[in-house]
Amino acid sequence: MAVQKPSLPKGTRDFNPMQMGRRNFIFDTIKESFRLFGFQQLETPTMENLSTLTGKYGDEGDQLIFKILNSGDFLKDVSAEDLASGAGKTLPKVAEKGLRYDLTVPFARYVVMNRNDITLPFKRFQVQPVWRADRPQKGRYREFYQCDADVVGTDSLICELEILLMIKRVFSKLDIKDYSIKINNRKILTGLADVIGEPGRESALCVAIDKLDKIGWEKVKEELAQRDFSKDAIEKLNPIIHLEKSNLDKLDFLKGFLSTSEVGRQGIVELEEVFEFLQSYGEDQSHVDFDVVLARGLSYYTGAIFEVKVNNVSIGSVGGGGRYDNLTGIFGLEGVSGVGFSFGVDRIYDVMEELDIFPQGQLNETKVLITHFDEEGQKYGLTVLKALRDNGISSEIYPELGKIKKQFTYADKKQIPFVIILGADELAGGKVSLKNLETGHQESLSLADALAQIQ
């Protein structure tokens, strides 16, 4: 039998212990903030019925859902005619389930199925992997984690405030200092379409404007022209594209610019209220950037829109979200408004690596290695090991009898900061020798003193 060369599916990765230490540092920071803000954790299954997933992400999204073949003889119901008619006809007969594409649609399904048991407003967070059959490229994977927090069942703008506060707290804890939380309101974009004379076309307008960062205003103008926006309408956007003012000055400018659009004015009022809440809470507007042309591609946002970017790094957005008016309508429960935000953990990891700001030391698991010269020392070492672990100190004993040098090499490679050495003198005196591998300092101590020093 040929030896098989191991490999991974494209767009997936292994995470080694060092990477997992760093990832858990990010996850724990985010979860701790979610809990502090009163969000409760939820988990939903890896797979959902295809009927739950399809039709929720647009045609393009439907193509990117990983389908799961039915178990057993999955072709048993498929006729030659079905095969001849193509995938559309065959698929429903061979696959009934798919891997989850995001956490939002499963959440909507959960809310509808459990509507009698949950207390509204319902604040939930979810940290789980999702799968997309996308073309893998740098920073884009087929399996990745999402970290979502949503509040459903209220249209209070306090929820928007809380999202701003959570982002600020998480980034402060992760020591990311140079970032901006871009915020806008979908109603302002609707208003823009109204006042430039292209009412109802904010979706087309948003798709083009969304590319402003990547391709620049000249190219966006060309794209708008291709989408049949009139020359006059495109020219009217000019002052908006080049609006470089403070948040409050931008709002003042827009009050004039959007004065003829009722929905546009409504968007301004909502944003002003969020900024007022921020002030009442005792927080300033640092890192918060009102971006008049922020237009996240997703079509279901109806109010506030958020996007977080870290400045001066090669990675784009590291999180986003917004307010949606009818998340659960697709499952027959109308009128549930909600607002949510998602942290892109993989991207935050890449940013922190690029900036080299992961905390040193605390992410390495084992704190103490117990070393020994013979069987006597190893037996004594087991009692020391119990004392360490009873005191909550992550520790291990070198499992084999061997040269002390080999045991030290093991500690070095695992970056274990302390080594306890148990030789004949230590055994005779009921003591331990504690060596700090970073400083090289070594001394003979009672076990109690050694414990105090390690802690």
Output the known binding site for L-histidine.
Answer: 102-104, 132, 146, 150, 296, 300-301
The binding site consists of: 102-104, 132, 146, 150, 296, 300-301
Nearest one of 282, 328, 275, 343 to 304, comparing CA atoms: 275
Q: Could you tell me how far CA 194 lies from the centroid of its own chain?
A: 34
Strand partners of residue 59: none
Whole-number Å distance between alpha carbons of 10 and 19: 19
Phi and psi, residue 421, nearest 5°: -110, 125
Q: Are 102 and 132 in contact (CB under 8 A)?
A: no
One-letter amino acid at 312 equals N
Whole-number Å distance between alpha carbons of 435 and 361: 17
Nearest one of 353, 360, 350 to 144, comparing CA atoms: 350
- DSSP character for 94? H
Strand partners of residue 255: none
Q: Which residues lie closer than 8 Å to 352 by C-beta, 6 or more apart? A: 22, 26, 174, 176, 358
Joined together, the tokens standing for residue 300 give 């279901």
401 C-beta neighbours (distance < 10 Å), count: 12
Q: Which helix (H) or strand (E) holds 305?
A: strand 304-310
Joined together, the tokens standing for residue 194 give 């109204």
Whole-number Å distance between alpha carbons of 441 and 446: 16
Joined together, the tokens standing for residue 43 give 């988990």
Whole-number Å distance between alpha carbons of 103 and 407: 46
Q: By three-state DSSP, how is residue 183 classified?
A: strand
